[in-house]
Chains A and B, each alone.
Chain A
Amino acid sequence: MVITELKPIEKIWQNIADFRKVLVLGCRGCSGICSTGGDREVKLLVSALNLIAENEGKNFIALGQTLIRQCDPVALKVLPEFLKEVEAVVSLACGVGVNLIADLYPDLKVYPGTDTLFIGAHVGFGVWEEKCRACGDCFIDKTAGLCPIARCPKGLLNGPCGGSQTERCEVNPEIPCVWYEIIIRLEKRGELASLDEIIGPKDWRLTFGEGPRKRQREDLTF
């Protein structure tokens, strides 16, 4: 899931303070699941913005709506229905949602209400951790299913570095050394020898591409 975080409310307010009517647009996708942009968060933000406006004596009103997703044109089709007299939209989806709205509605002023952090998992109540960098060339079959690109600060492909001690990472002792874990697991499986093979330099084109990456499936295109 794409993990997001609500921007500080002052920052959101800065962008929209001069409008009279603003739509806060939630998303029940990843953003809703990680409690950044679901129905509840939309309601909260709407009230907060209205309160600020009242305090500052501004002629301003914020409305709220939540879509099932913002990363799909089909789901965004209903958006114009909510835009009567609306001068701007604050999206609580990930950056994908904001981009797609901007793509589809060039005349609409859309502002991000969240920061998009990473692709991660919900590992405990209120805790999300990064597990994948979307490098485009998954090789974690060789590393016991643990990704050193996402989980080693140096992204070593032939780790561990010389700094790991007491199984913690030298760069960030909060996290375990992923290479330590990889080796322990492979050893248990009796597959440690597979690491003796040098993993070659990565083809970073698959990660950074030539501009935005694109995937196209012939069988699904009309």
Chain B
Amino acid sequence: MKFRSNLERVLKSGYMAITCELAPPKHASLEPLKKKARVLKGYVDAANITDCQVAMVRLSSLAGCLAIMLEGIEPILQMTCRDRNRIAMQSDLLGAWALGIRNVFCTTGDHPTFGDHPQAKPVFDLDSVQLVAMVNQLKQGRFLNGQEIKGENPRFFIGATENPFADPSEYRVRRLAKKIKAGAEFIQTQLVYDVTKFKQFMYIAHNEGLTEKAYILAGIVPPKSFRMIDYIKSHLPGSCVPEDLVKRMREAKDPLEEGIKIAVELIEQIKEIPGVKGFHLMAIGWEEYLPEILKKTGFYPRPFSQDLLPEDTKTFSLREQEKKHLEEEIKNLKEHLLRLESLITGKKEIKEEDSEKVSITIETPKEKTTAVVEDLTKTSPSSLAPAKEESLTGEKSRLKVLYRSLSERAKGLPEDLYREPASGRIREVVFGKGDKALKVGGAEALPFHSFEGSLGQPLRIAMEVLDVVPEDFPEVLAKYFKDVWDDPGSWAKKCVEEYGAEAIAVYLLGIDPNYLNLGADHAKRVIEKVKKAVDVPLIIWGCDNAEKDTEVLREVAEVIKDDNILFGPIVEDNYRTLGAVALGYQLPVIAQSPIDVNIAKQLNILLENLGVPLEKIIMDPSVGALGYGLEYTYSVMERIRLAALYSNDVKLQNPFICNVGREVWKTKETSLPSDEFMGEAEMRGVMMEVITAVSLALAGGELFILRHPKSLELTKRVLNLLWTSSEQKP
């Protein structure tokens, strides 16, 4: 069977259909619609583009349909009778069909006096029933005047609406029948809040056989706030809102969450009513929450969404100039590759005109690898800061030769070819107190993609201090802390004052029931000591035993409550108690999930439901070290970040903490001695730690816990370089 549209295909294949409503902007840009479309892509079978709803001037439905079609969402052209006579309407219908629009939704339209141009002449040449009949007649190949359409005729999948709740309610089904008789193939009802009344309506419609003749989609408006539902109840003509719904919204602690819950409940209930063939979601500017609702109700993924991605509609027309530019760039890249090759092999097979530049770059990298470690071991800690500055500028100038800014590389290309700004933003989470407090998050773009948006707060690096003398530190790590490791306070002080840690993570290893099984008093003492010794923000990390952590952290909270100290990890098994502790003392928390996008999100939602604001949650996706699952962590973090930024998944818009040091320094490779084959031991460990940290920064990590002082130094340097060079916006 050949289908005219995806919506028809979904319905006729026996699936429940999901449509939604998108309102074009009140200005002359398609961007807002495209943005919404990107959020909803894959979640809906088709989307209605409204036709100056509530009689307000907006960008035309036809143009809007085209915009979302290019984004991969099938449009439903809404057409009202308010502003056009039969000539204009038929003309637009011909045009819409010619442009590839296959669904049309016919309605009378709100009276101009409701809108922003109440002086306008109401047209209403036809009413909605007559409009449906006219579209149907075009389908039969005839204009409204009866003349034959000589050539391609529009054969739209025709939609109409009916309000089951308006008066006289007994007549509503008859009017529905009239629209179906006129040619309506699918019906999107007005908003349904009163399920009982809707059930009666559907019962009669079903008995009259109407549900066999047309597909009825129930209209759902997720309530956003008490004000909104109150407005609908008292101002929206022909709506019917049960009192208990209003009450629920009035009393909801989190109206957003409650609204989503209500929408999910409505869908679950209505789904079961015989004759209901899908849902029409009208989020009224709240589209970013629809994916969540659809996921919760099991309507995601959509059956044929992959077939919607337009091939013939998406045309990139590169102009001659742009082609030339790209060719030039490819040539440049090839040259860069040659240079890199020469760097690695040490050969100087470079074209003459480049020899000067190349000679600058050649000696450095080799030197760098050895130099960094040697340099650092030699440098006395107090002189670190100026040395850093110097080497930073040195590296920057070197970078300038190798690195060409994006603006330079992209010159001559239209911006939308390479720029894809995100629609979401990562929350900012603060921990610590006073002017030493640290803020992480805030990014509006992928890591270091500053050409697409703000990168938010700078990345932060903490150093780890153990509550007991460590037994498994390899010598190359232990030698830096031996003098202080019997006192967590001095240890922390050394990390901050000598090594430049921006925060201290206290790892309560000693409380581990499988190790020393120390109690909460021990933990409290340790934390008191560290608190006294340093003034940077602290992170308290339990022993990763959910039960013991609950027991200890609950009590530790008393000690840390006044300093806004970040604590965790909170996991699925102990989120209730520890979440309550966080809520009670208003502390920021680490929410840990086992390398799993869904669990990460679920934990955030559980904590939020408990009352912990999302603004207090930093996510720990559980990191793996280089060679020990780094790629899994990377991919999960990447997916979380993409969902947060590009699908605007509000429950995932939290910064990441990456506990890198512990994972790296427990690997076998870091404790092997120096030898010919494995190379120098300290260098090896440091590089593993740095590579892990930098990789995770590229995946979106914002806060890192490291162990080795040189790792901190080098990571900082690399991140700084990435940060500053990416700051050169095009």
A interface residues, Cβ below 8 angstroms from B: 153-167, 170-171, 177, 180, 183-184, 192, 195-196, 198-202, 204
Cβ-defined partner of B129 (8 Å) among A170, A198, A202: A198
CA distance A165 to B134 in the complex (A): 28
Q: Which stretch from B167-175, B242-250, B441-449, B457-465 is at the chain A interface?
A: B167-175
A171 (CB) vs chain B CBs: closest residue: B111
Contact of A153 with B134 in the complex, beta carbons under 8 Å: no
Q: Contact partner of A156 among B127, B171, B238, B239, CB < 8 A?
A: B127
Knowing A160-B171, A163-B237, A180-B167 are in contact, say whether A201-B122 is a contact too (CB < 8 A): no
Cα distance A163–B130 in the bound complex, in angstroms: 18
Q: Across the interface, do A177 and B167 meet the contact criterion of CB distance under 8 Å? A: yes
- Given A155-B124, A162-B163, 13 other A-B contacts at CB below 8 A? A154-B111, A156-B124, A157-B129, A158-B127, A160-B167, A160-B175, A163-B166, A165-B239, A171-B114, A180-B168, A195-B178, A198-B181, A198-B182
**Residue with the greatest number of chain B CB neighbours at <10 A, chosen from A157, A165, A170:** A165
Give which listed residue, A157, A167, A202, contacts B167 with CB less than 8 A. A167
Once bound together, how far apart are the Cα atoms of A111 and B163, in whole Å? 50
Q: How far is the CB of B140 from chain A (nearest CB, A)?
A: 15
Interface majority SS on B: helix, strand, loop or mixed?
loop
Given the known interface contacts A156-B108, A196-B177, A198-B178, the answer about A164 and B237 at a Cβ–Cβ threshold of 8 Å is: yes
Asked whether, in the complex, the Cβ of A165 is within 8 Å of the Cβ of B237, the reply is: yes
Q: Does B133 contact A (CB under 8 A)?
A: yes
Whether a CB of chain A sits under 8 angstroms from the CB of B251 is no
**A171-B124 contact in complex given A161-B108, A164-B238, A196-B177, C-beta closer than 8 Å:** no
Q: Which of B124, B128, B163 contacts A163 (CB 8 A)?
A: B163
- Per-residue CB contact flags for chain B residues 98-120 toward chain A (1 = under 8 Å, else 0) read 00000000001001011000000
Decide yes or no: A162 and B166 within 8 Å by CB, A156-B127, A198-B182 being known contacts.
yes
Number of A-B residue pairs having CB atoms within 8 Å of each other in the complex: 96
Q: Which residues of B contact A202 (CB under 8 A)?
A: 125
User: What sequence of 0s and 1s flags, for each residue 270-311 of chain B, a beta carbon within 8 Å of any chain A beta carbon?
Assistant: 000000000000000000000000000000000000000000
The reply to whether A154 and B129 contact each other, CB–CB distance below 8 Å, is no
How far is it, in angstroms, between the C-alpha of A81 and the C-alpha of B182 when the chains are bound? 63
B238 touches A170 (CB 8 A): yes
Contact in complex: B114, A158 (CB < 8 Å): no
A201 touches B167 (CB 8 A): no
Bound form: Cα–Cα A72–B181 in Å: 49
A177 contact set on B, CB distance < 8 A: 167
B86 touches A165 (CB 8 A): no
A124 to B599, CA, bound (A): 71
Q: How large is the interface on B (under 10, 10 to 19, 20 to 34, 35 or more residues)?
A: 35 or more
CA A160 to CA B162, docked complex, whole Å = 11
CB-CB under 8 A from B125, the residues of chain A are 201-202, 204
> Which residues from chain B sit less than 8 Å from chain A, CB to CB?
81-82, 86, 108, 111, 113-114, 122, 124-130, 133-134, 144, 161-163, 165-168, 171, 174-175, 177-178, 181-182, 190, 237-239
Q: A163-B238, A164-B237, A180-B167 are in contact. Are A198 and B133 (CB under 8 A)?
A: yes
Residues A201 and B134 in contact in the complex (CB < 8 Å), given A160-B166, A162-B161, A163-B238: yes
Q: Which residues of B contact A153 (CB under 8 A)?
A: 111, 113, 122
A195 to B171: give the CA distance in the assembly, Å: 10
Q: In the complex, are the beta carbons of B166 and A164 less than 8 A apart? A: yes
13 inter-chain pairs at a CB distance below 8 angstroms, sorted by A residue, are: A158-B129, A158-B130, A159-B127, A162-B190, A162-B238, A165-B238, A180-B168, A183-B168, A196-B178, A198-B129, A198-B133, A200-B133, A201-B134
Residues of A within 8 A of B171 (CB): 160, 183, 192
In the complex, which residue of chain A has the Cβ closest to the Cβ of B114?
A: A171
A151 to B730 Cα, complex, angstroms: 62
Once the chains are docked, how many angstroms separate the CA of A212 from the CA of B130? 27
